[in-house]
Structure 1
Amino acid sequence: MPGVATAADPVGLLARPYWYRTLPADADVHRLDGGVFAVTGNRTVQEALAHPDIVAEHPLKASARAFGPNVLDADGAEHRAFRALLAPILSAGRVDAYKRTLMPGLVEALVDSVLDSECDDFHATHAHKVPYGIVCTILGIDPALEDRFHTLTRPLARLLDYPTEETEQTHTNVDELLRLIEEQRTAGRGDGRSLLETIEQTRDRRGISLTDAEVRSTALLFFLAGTETSSAFITSLVYCMGRGLFGLDELHDPAVRDDFVEEALRLYPPVQTIVRFASEDLALGGVRIPRHSAVLASIAGANRDPRVFAHPDRFDLSRSRKGSIPFAVGAHACPGALLAKTEFSLLVADLVERCADIAVTRDRRRAASQSFSHPSAFAVRFTAK
């Protein structure tokens, strides 16, 4: 489908939660101000994310400056090397072990903390507890430091957002988190299976040419991405459960529960917009994109494309979700999708087992962020059985 020139400031545009809807509906690629291109529509977003000349690496990215070489900002062989370090931690066998031994206690503690209460800001006060507990354990971090890690990590989410908010404080927090991770490693809290130990063993066994500093940065970004995306989506899950779209009892069925999680992921992907860069002159959706242009790929737009999903804004458990890409596609697709979905399913199961009702009691229908997106400005009440 041919693209059109669109006069729009990308920063102001992305301040709107559903910004892709403000662009012309007869095009999938939109030229914005400042040499930025926005990509909407399911097919073209997937094409952009899998395109070999649309890359993550850019020397001026705030995340690259803050973390150095890392899994999020690398491409090609270097990116594959970083992902190889994470593969053992995120394998099906390891996730199954977490499901049996680690996740149930964390989920139960979260549900304990909200029963018979009304939360004005579920995301800030509760949503992080399960993912931070999981990733702290995987990293071999003392559970007593969980709140410290949460405090230090939250501002770093703005480094990965668009527009980026980079401050002296974010760089200070990166340095402090790397120091804490190294301190915990030196203290020997791991059991030989922690993230740092596993990725160091994988690096040495496979002869992967990554420095200790690059390994630490990958561990920290794993922490950031794994916790903040999950915290955002757990907030979206609770919001969907509290909207009264259907009875909680229906979610006792594991198949229905899986459909619920998948449909919530389609409607509320925790990463709404992905920033990439054209490494060469290329054509996408009939539009010429010059080298070095920024490319904003809208996961939210792809997942609500009416050409793929009938009545795309409707929460429909019976629909086919073929084409839904909440964890992106291509070389940079989220490697922790299985871990995340296992965590989400266990939380929903425990909530429906122990809650007679979950109700959104105030809803200003706002959304926060592009990179760690979730409904905001709502209150939710949990009534115990």
Structure 2
Amino acid sequence: MRETNPVRYDETRGCWDVFQYDDVQTVLTDFETFSSEFGSGLGGVSRDSAVDLTDTMIKRDPPEHERLRGVVDEYFQPGNLRTFSDDFEELARDQLDTVLAAGTEFDFAAEFAAPIPASVIGEILGVPRDKREVLIGVRPGGEHTQEELKAYITELVQRRKENPRDDILSEVIHATPDGREMTPEEIYNFCALLLLAGSHTTITLLTNALWMFTKHDLIADIQAGVIDLDTAIEEVLRYQPSVHTVERIASTDVEVNGTTIPEGDQIAAWVASANRDPQQFDDPETFDPERSPNPHMTFGRGIHVCLGAPLARLEARTVLPVFFDRVSDVSFATDERDPIVGPTLYGLQTLPISVQT
């Protein structure tokens, strides 16, 4: 499609697809022409999920986008997040202890990777560790309902109103962007967005990383420092991005690569295709853990660049070394793996592995 039909209309989906790197970048950065204000949330998440992302910052254009994002942007800068590194390491060690206590053959995705991101979000929000089961349930297949999640967050917000702490939730509750406090619904939506978007994509990043490192026999070189882990993680993000498409809607008639997209039409910008565009990347179909530079678009571009990108990177750089410090001889326990089924999220629901300790 990049070569033969880089901008095409899909009659079945009622949507335009954009495949080339430069065109995807245009769609993501020109927020005035390609609006975010439509749709019902993150593709790939079931309709009965605990969260509807329609009323969150990712579905808002300026100035409302800036009002909502500005409340928390500072907290998600790398320097501020690094204060949580020790806590994240402890969470990873505890989870690995639990997994290995049951044996050296296990499902990396479900048993190790899946519980950690929700616990990390809980750490940032200040949720007590003995109360985090309700957060973990928001992932696909989780057992907790939207009502349970909303009830718990509402209770937590009330406690923070009465007894503020030095945490991000207290900051959100007492923030006054444009001179007014966030509404209860906006506070809940922020927490829900952090849980859903942050958990799903980071679980997939961790799982895809181990999948690629094991498949390409790279773990020993990463453990020895021959291959830089940070650089290898960036290649995982390019080669196996957790999110394949980003959706927008045309706010006016617009020409993209010689094709006119009418006002009001939906557009899918194929980030995964842009990440393998040979006009931008040498030998793009090869997984190269030492690729540099690596200007992938997995976390987006422009004003909507992923708020949680620094957090996802920090989690991967913190959690994976904990795993690699404890295990060796990682191999696939089976060739059978369950994929994530959905229009946007990409990766594995299961990754059965065998390790030595």
TM (normalized to structure 2)? Answer: 0.87
Find out whether 1:124 has 2:101 as its counterpart. no
Alignment RMSD, CA only? 2.8
Q: Distance in 1 between matches of 2:158 and 2:226?
A: 42
Asked if the contact 1:271/1:370 (under 8 Å) is kept, the reply is no
Find out whether 1:325 has 2:325 as its counterpart. no
Q: Report matched runs for 1:266-345 at 5 Å.
A: 266-345=238-317
Find out whether 1:54 has 2:27 as its counterpart. no
Asked if the contact 1:233/1:373 (under 8 Å) is kept, the reply is no
Residues 241-250 or 104-113, more deviating: 241-250
Asked if the contact 1:249/1:352 (under 8 Å) is kept, the reply is no
2:56 corresponding residue in structure 1: 70
For residues 370 and 276 of structure 1, do their structure 2 counterparts lie closer, same or farther at Cα, with a shift above 3 Å needed? same
2:210 corresponding residue in structure 1: 238
- Which of 323, 335, 338 pairs up with 1:363? 335
1:258 corresponding residue in structure 2: 230
Q: Report matched runs for 1:10-25 at 5 Å.
A: 23=1, 25=3
2:98 corresponding residue in structure 1: 113
2:155 corresponding residue in structure 1: 183
Structure 1 residue 32 displacement after superposition: 0.9
2:75 corresponding residue in structure 1: 89
Q: Distance in 2 between matches of 1:68 and 1:289?
A: 24
Structure 1 residue 67 displacement after superposition: 5.2
Q: Distance in 2 between matches of 1:224 and 1:363?
A: 29
Q: Distance in 2 between matches of 1:254 and 1:248?
A: 9
2:185 corresponding residue in structure 1: 213
2:356 corresponding residue in structure 1: 383
Over the matched positions of the two proteins, sequence identity in percent amounts to 24
Asked if the contact 2:104/2:356 (under 8 Å) is kept, the reply is yes
Q: Distance in 2 between matches of 1:312 and 1:366?
A: 26
Find out whether 1:204 has 2:176 as its counterpart. yes
Unaligned runs of 5+ in 1: 1-22, 157-168
1:27 corresponding residue in structure 2: 5
For residues 338 and 79 of structure 1, do their structure 2 counterparts lie closer, same or farther at Cα, with a shift above 3 Å needed? same
Q: Distance in 1 between matches of 2:319 and 2:156?
A: 29
Q: Distance in 1 between matches of 2:5 and 2:163?
A: 52
Give the 3-state SS of the residue equivalent to 1:275 in structure 2.
strand
Question: Which residue identity lines up with residue 260 of structure 1 in the other structure?
Answer: A
Find out whether 1:134 has 2:120 as its counterpart. yes
For residues 280 and 272 of structure 1, do their structure 2 counterparts lie closer, same or farther at Cα, with a shift above 3 Å needed? same
Q: Distance in 2 between matches of 1:24 and 1:49?
A: 17
Structure 1 residue 266 displacement after superposition: 0.8
Give the 3-state SS of the residue equivalent to 1:76 in structure 2.
coil
Asked if the contact 2:109/2:351 (under 8 Å) is kept, the reply is no
Question: Which residue identity lines up with residue 50 of structure 1 in the other structure?
Answer: T
1:192 corresponding residue in structure 2: 165
Find out whether 1:98 has 2:70 as its counterpart. no
Find out whether 1:374 has 2:353 as its counterpart. no
Q: Distance in 1 between matches of 2:52 and 2:288?
A: 41
Count of residue pairs the alignment pairs up: 344
- Which of 22, 37, 40 pairs up with 1:43? 22
Unaligned runs of 5+ in 2: none
Structure 1 residue 183 displacement after superposition: 0.9
Q: Distance in 2 between matches of 1:46 and 1:24?
A: 14
TM (normalized to structure 1)? Answer: 0.81
Q: Distance in 2 between matches of 1:67 and 1:24?
A: 30
Q: Distance in 1 between matches of 2:250 and 2:332?
A: 42
Give the 3-state SS of the residue equivalent to 1:31 in structure 2.
strand
Give the 3-state SS of the residue equivalent to 1:95 in structure 2.
helix
Give the 3-state SS of the residue equivalent to 2:57 in structure 1.
coil
For residues 190 and 144 of structure 1, do their structure 2 counterparts lie closer, same or farther at Cα, with a shift above 3 Å needed? farther
For residues 113 and 383 of structure 1, do their structure 2 counterparts lie closer, same or farther at Cα, with a shift above 3 Å needed? farther
For residues 38 and 212 of structure 1, do their structure 2 counterparts lie closer, same or farther at Cα, with a shift above 3 Å needed? same
Q: Distance in 1 between matches of 2:338 and 2:26?
A: 30
Structure 1 residue 258 displacement after superposition: 0.8
Q: Distance in 2 between matches of 1:66 and 1:345?
A: 29
